[in-house]
Amino acid sequence: MARRKKGYYRARDLARQRIEKLFLLAEEEHLLHPERSDRYAALARRMGMRMRVRIPRRLKRQICKGCRCYLTPQRTRVRLRDGVLTITCTECGEQMRYPYRRPR
**String marking each residue 29-68 x if it binds Zn ion according to CB under 5 A:** -----------------------------------x-xx-
Determine the 3-state secondary structure of 38 from DSSP: helix
**String marking each residue 65-84 x if it binds Zn ion according to CB under 5 A:** -xx-----------------
Size of the site for Zn ion (CB under 5 A): 7
Give the nearer residue to Zn ion in terms of CB position, either 14 or 94.
Answer: 94
The interface region with Zn ion, picked from 11-19, 49-57, 79-87, 90-98 by CB under 5 A, is: 90-98
Does 69 belong to an annotated binding site?
Answer: no
Asked if residue 89 binds Zn ion (CB under 5 A), the reply is: yes
Amino acid letter for position 104: R
Sequential DSSP letters for 48-98: HHHTT-PPPHHHHTTB-TTT-PBP-GGGEEEEEETTEEEEEETTT--EEEE
- Give the single-character DSSP code of 44: H
Q: Which residues does the annotation place in the binding site for Zn(2+)?
A: 64, 67, 89, 92
Residues annotated within a binding site: 64, 67, 89, 92
